[in-house]
Amino acid sequence: MRDYELMYIIAPTHGDDEACAAFAGQMAAAITANGAEITPNASLQPISGRRKLAYAMRRESKDVQEGYYVLLQFQAEPAKIAEIERSIKLADPIMRYLITLPTAEANKPIEE
């Protein structure tokens, strides 16, 4: 299993801080259901609440300039990442996402 980091932005139209924290918990459960393990020290709370985006994103026929950023660290087999990405893409409140390897993990060879 390899370490991964997932950063995603929840649309501000989804609700307030509590609704976004509940959605972050649902996403963590969906990732776990796809065979990943959430890092024990990972926080499921949005990072500092609603934040201004670097640029406006078109969503639901209007420009959105704010969002809730969530960072999640997890471990998974490389073959499971496609399934995790599929569940993220199906989640309507997520505007953008990025799954990355931590710097130390990026240089390790994939174990089969």
Domains of the chain: 18-106 (3.30.70.60)
Mean pLDDT, residues 52-62 taken together: 81
Contact 3, 105 (CB under 8 A): yes
Distance, in Å, from the CA atom of 95 to the CA atom of 107, rounded to the nearest integer, reads 29
Amino acid 20: pLDDT: 84
- Checking if the pLDDT of 46 tops 70, the result is no
Amino acid 42: pLDDT: 60
Amino acid 98: pLDDT: 93
- Taking only the tens place, the pLDDT of each residue in 70-108 is 888 899 999 999 999 999 998 888 989 999 988 765 556
Paired tokens of 56: 């406006």
7 - beta bridge partners? 71, 98
Residue with tokens 């972050």: 24
pTM (two decimals): 0.80
98 - beta bridge partners? 7
Paired tokens of 29: 């459960």
pLDDT tier for residue 65 given thresholds of 50, 70 and 90:
confident
Chain mean pLDDT for the chain: 83
